[in-house]
Amino acid sequence: MLEELSRDEVLAEQRAQAAFLTDVSRVVATIATRHHAASSPLTWQLLRDIREEALAAIGLAARWPAWRLDEIVAASAVPPLDGCPTGAEVGALPVLGRAIAAAFHIPEPYARTK
At residue 112, the pLDDT reads 46
How many other C-beta atoms lie within 10 A of the C-beta of residue 90?
A: 20
Euclidean distance between CA atoms 86 and 10, whole angstroms: 38
- Position 114 scores a pLDDT of 45
- Please measure the distance between the N-terminal and C-terminal CA atoms of the chain and give it in whole angstroms: 31
Q: Determine if residue 110 is left, alpha or beta; phi over 0 gives left, psi from -120 to 50 gives alpha, anything else beta.
A: beta
pLDDT at 3: 63
Measuring CA to CA, which residue among 85, 80, 83 is closest to residue 100? 85
Q: Are 86 and 46 in contact (CB under 8 A)?
A: no
pLDDT tens, per residue, the chain with 114 residues: 346 878 888 899 899 989 988 988 899 999 999 999 999 999 999 999 999 999 899 887 778 888 888 888 888 889 999 999 988 898 889 888 988 998 888 876 654 444
Ramachandran area for residue 53 (φ above 0: left; ψ -120 to 50: alpha; else beta): alpha
Confidence at residue 45, expressed as pLDDT on a 0 to 100 scale: 96
User: CA-to-CA distance for 36 and 58, rounded, in angstroms?
Assistant: 20
| pTM, two decimal places | 0.79
pLDDT of residue 84: 93
